[in-house]
A = this chain, B = another copy of it.
């Protein structure tokens, strides 16, 4: 963890036709966002792109230039549509080949007979990359500069994120508190806008919901400073109480 107050930023890039067709419902964006937020890294953008090398490379280059880290998921398996590693090499303009370190990791999991040419595709790693351990199924993820390349299967991605997390530089974590009430968002919207102006170093979000019991609204306040957060959340409590009393 760095000691400074500056936010460390990140983007998430989900790679896969199956997400864009709706066949697979992505759960990785939400998981990574929550995980990184907790360790003080702000996710500023997420994208989902298809299994098309040019589009993967373009997205990687756009995002790595703007954010401290880019986390990709998907497309590092053994089949013909797994083209993430090659696309990353293309994005950086570097070579790619079967990496003996990756083969060694896979040999710990697969018999010689099972180390087919298709599986060896999973050992193709861009040159100069560091490897990310895969505690679930052996074939590693990897990192090139600020781009961290992980599997798409959630369980494997999560193991890789655990493996890479200690190597990341985090900012001061964003703290967050939530208060909710059985009120309509519109009942507190103006007062909340005023409150946000009074506390510019916090981020106030309002999240309306509608369920069996009718409308309710949650107010989330986020800040890096604990005292400031406590003060602002106190004002939010008053605001919700007054909205409830007014109805």
**Which residues of A line the B interface, CB within 8 A?**
14, 17-27, 29-37, 42-51, 55, 77-81, 114, 116-119, 121-122, 136-137, 153, 155-156, 174, 176, 184-190, 192-193, 196, 203-210, 220, 222
Contacts and interface: CB of A to CB of B under 8 A. Distances in A.
Contacts of A114: 184, 186
Contact of A116 (B31, B50, B186): B186
A121 B117 CA distance: 59
A114 B193 CA distance: 17
Nearest to A49: B45
A36 B20 CA distance: 10
Given A81-B206, A116-B186, A33 B22 contact: yes
Contact of A204 (B81, B119, B136): B81
Nearest to A46: B48
Contacts of A30: 19, 22, 24-26
A20 B186 CA distance: 24
A47 B50 contact: no
Given A118-B186, A190-B118, A77 B206 contact: yes
A78 B184 CA distance: 10
Contacts of A55: 45
Given A153-B210, A196-B80, A29 B48 contact: yes
Given A19-B46, A116-B187, 5 more contacts: A22-B37, A24-B207, A26-B26, A51-B205, A119-B186
